[in-house]
Amino acid sequence: MDHSKTRLSAITLAALGVVYGDIGTSPLYTMKEVFSAKHGIALNEANVLGAVSLIIWSLVIVVSLKYVALILRADNRGEGGIMALMALALASVTKQSRWYVPLMVVGLAGTSLFFGDGVITPAITILSAIEGLEVATPALVPYVVPAACAVVIALYVVQRRGTAGLGRWFGVFMLAWFGTLAAMGVVNIAEHPGVLAAFDPRHGVAFFIHNQWLGFVALGAIFLALTGAEALYADLGHFGKQPVRLAWFCAVFPALVLNYLGQAAVLLNNPAAVGNPFYYQLGEWSIVPLVALSTIAAVIAAQATISATFSVVQSAISLGFLPRMKVLYTSEREMGQVYIPLANWLQLIIVLLAVTGFGSSDNLAAAYGIAVTITMLTTTILTFFVIRYQWKYNLLLCWAATGFFLVIDMAFFIANSLKIAHGGWFPLVMGAVMMTVMLVWRTGRKAVFDNLQQHAIPLGAFLESLFVSPPLRVPGTAVYFRAEGDGVPHALLHNLLHNKVLHEQTVFLTVMNRDIPYVAPEARIELSDLGHQCFQLNIGYGFKDERDIIGALELAGNKGLHWELMETSFFIARQTVIPVARGRMPAVGDVLFAALSRNARDAAEYYKVPANRVIELGTQVEI
């Protein structure tokens, strides 16, 4: 029992460092944004108490009730995140259902906008941390953006090394960070205990009544206190429900509430602190130490977002929504530690553009929130289908469980939609680009599959006719990649046509992509004997599994497949896609798909097959 408690404490501490970095840095900019001049909210006691009351009750309703109590239950075999939830929702309805395609589009929309959020989060957290230098001395203002760019570049450069080594320290530091937030809050609350009245939700209602339209506009700034809530669900697979919940209720939630109350007390005691209330909580002596502390916390928050981006890209590739890319696994001990070079460098470029283009956290705040609110909306919608059709709950209960949160999400979405013209377009454009890429790739791959099916030769009938007058058998093993549901591999036809030989052992290998996170090793392999030393080998992978064909063949060796790597050749038919107007997609979509196909990683590299054992043959496919 003591060992179990120690392990739970260690996992909870790790969750504190990875899961809550984003929402934990929200106090850097939320209160400052609520009372910025552009919102026109007067700085008086009623408005301060009303704003803090709305923040507190938003944390209670959206984070504690929606995510911690409800959404964390909708795990896909222990895995969370928008892609896992989409796979779970799609599995709850049949492919023939009228809801299948709309649910897929909803899930892809949430995923696409996650990428937009993944760019804004590093930019705004790092900028808002370093902007504390402006509070220390106006002379440092010109150096804020260059310093932020330097931190961003350093952060992305070290990604290739992985974060497994640093991860253990993230929790320790974030525990100190939340302790600091709580301590600062307590100090300031003691000077103005009247701010505790903000726990009364009537102050939040009065905020809207007194400010009317301006109060609703300010709701978009209040929402900034919730950014990062999706991470609770996205990182579920790394830590489990109990550690995530413990970290929230025992450390994060109390620290955030105390700090927001403390900032409210600062504003009531010193209205001049409205420019950046976070850094005025302990006086001028604390500004530089807080800048250093905040910068480290911002880097950890950004790191969590970057790692989540790699994880989502990996899942999207596995589920067939993105072309194959180079995926590196950076830890032999920790599952899910991946590095995707192309995603890393593209994200770095866009983050730098956001930092230099917007120039301040105030400007970025206008762009922040719209993508997150849409992602939260899609999460609520997908959850309804999971609890209704997967869990078979009563329809009225399903509407009650998700309808309330849907109304809250819609209110935040409408308030944030007012930011579109002032920077909110930025994550929406990025989301639209990613949505287009994923839909084009999905549609194009289906077109390729349909084309191959039309010309497919049934494998069983082909082998039966082939061995009526068998070709010369040569020593060794030949492995032919064969798509799921496909006929005779084109590479085999090319080999027979040009070389007129067949290896003494021939394996047809099909990778089966499952809509679950992980497939147990003992259930990964299906081996069928087709006769004449020919075998059909099916390898099942979940969307979080590492693709390792050599390891899978070793597992197949335990089921009777005899092979040696140095005597094995892997035959792959690399497809060249030729766009032909068939009405499946607009012409520009066909051209985009062809370009993506040309630049996608080939199967040998993606599945970690040794290059010196690969024989690649070209084939053309019209779409």
Q: Which class is 1-422 in CATH?
A: mainly alpha
> Cα angle vertex 297, ends 292, 303, to 5°?
130
- Type of residue found at 341: P
Query: Does 291 score more than 70 pLDDT?
Result: yes
Please give the average per-residue pLDDT across 460-471, as a whole number.
91
pLDDT at 400 over 80: yes
Phi, psi of 615 (to 5 degrees): -115, 115
**Are 181 and 290 spatial neighbours (Cβ–Cβ below 8 Å)?**
no
Q: If pLDDT is split at 50, 70 and 90, which confidence band does 314 have?
A: confident
Q: Rounded to a whole number, what is the distance in angstroms from the first to the last CA of the chain? A: 60
Nearest alpha carbon to residue 519 among 538, 540, 546: 540
Average pLDDT in the 188-193 region?
Answer: 94
Tokens of 133: 């230098």
Which two structure tokens, joined as six digits, stand for 232? 């609770």
Whether pTM > 0.75 for this model: the answer is: yes
pLDDT tops 80 at residue 253: yes
Question: Residue 590 in contact with residue 578, Cβ under 8 Å?
Answer: no
Nearest-Å Rg of the Cα atoms of the chain is 27
The closest of 225, 301, 239, 280 to 31, measured between CA atoms, is: 225
Residue 303 predicted with pLDDT over 90 = no
The CA distances from residue 557 to 263, 292, 551, in Å, are 64, 55, 10
| Interacting residues of 396 by C-beta distance below 8 A, sequence separation 6+ | none
The pLDDT score that the predictor gives to residue 260 is 97
Is 70 exceeded by the pLDDT of residue 72?
yes
Check pLDDT > 80 for residue 165: no
Choice among 255-259, 360-364, 556-560, 617-621 with the minimum mean pLDDT: 617-621
Structure-token pair, residue 56: 């507190």
Q: Which residue is associated with the tokens 């497949």?
A: 561
Looking at the chain, the whole-number percentage of residues with pLDDT higher than 90 is: 40
* DSSP β-ladder status, 472-481 and 338-339: unpaired
Characterize 255-273 residue by residue with b for buried, 16 or more Cβ atoms within 10 angstroms of its Cβ, and e for exposed. bbbbbbbbbbbbbbeeeeb
Instruction: List the single range of 148-162, 208-222, 347-361 with lowest mean pLDDT.
Output: 148-162
Both structure tokens of 157: 């450069």
Residue 60 pLDDT level (bands cut at 50, 70, 90): very high
Q: Minimal CA–CA distance to 328: which of 312, 341, 315, 343?
A: 341
Average pLDDT, integer, range 482-496:
85
Q: What is the per-residue pLDDT across 404-451, written as a single tens digit (0 to 9) for each?
A: 999 999 999 999 998 888 888 998 999 999 999 999 998 888 888 787
| pLDDT for position 579 | 65
Share of the chain above pLDDT 70, in %: 94
Residues contacting residue 394 through CB under 8 Å, at least 6 positions apart: none
The pLDDT of residue 183 is 96
User: Residue 227: which pLDDT band, with cuts at 50, 70 and 90?
Assistant: confident
pLDDT attached to residue 263: 96
Inter-residue contact 182 to 259 (CB < 8 Å): yes
Question: How far is residue 605's CA from residue 497's CA, in Å, rounded to a whole number?
Answer: 26
Q: Give ∠ CA 548-571-541 in degrees, rounded to 5.
A: 25
Distance CA 117, CA 131 (A): 21
Tens-digit pLDDT profile for residues 329-369: 776 555 557 788 999 999 999 999 999 999 888 888 878 88
Mean pLDDT, rounded, for 166-183:
87
Nearest to 407 by CA among 429, 448, 377: 377
Tokens 């981006």 belong to which residue?
A: 309
pLDDT, mean of residues 37-58:
93
CB atoms within 10 A of CB 158: 12
Tokens standing for residue 227? 């950014």
Per-residue CA distances from 280 to 136, 202, 296, 622 (Å): 10, 28, 19, 64
What is the pLDDT averaged over residues 156-182?
Answer: 82
Dump pLDDT digits (tens) for 563-602: 888 889 998 877 666 666 555 667 777 778 878 887 777 7
Q: Where do the CATH 1.20.1740.10 domains begin and end in the chain?
A: 1-422
pLDDT band at 1 (very low <50, low <70, confident <90, very high): very low
How far apart CA 188 and CA 159 sit, in angstroms, is 39
**Per-residue pLDDT at 381:** 94
Q: Say how far residue 611 (Cα) sits from the centre of its chain.
A: 31
* Contact (Cβ atoms closer than 8 angstroms) between residue 65 and residue 168: no
Determine the Cα–Cα distance for residues 456 and 570; give it in Å rounded to an integer.
21
The sign one gets for the Cα dihedral 322, 323, 328, 331 is: positive
Predicted confidence band of residue 3 (pLDDT cuts 50, 70, 90): very low
Contacts of residue 487, Cβ cutoff 8 Å, sequence gap at least 6: 452, 453, 456, 457, 458, 459, 462
Is the model more confident about 611 or about 268? 268
**Of 416, 158, 494, residue with least CA distance to 302:** 158
Q: Which helix (H) or strand (E) holds 69?
A: none
Q: How far apart are CA 87 and CA 95, in angstroms?
A: 12
Any alpha helices (H) in 131-196, and if so which ranges? Answer: 132-136, 144-157, 164-191
Q: What pLDDT sits at residue 444? A: 86
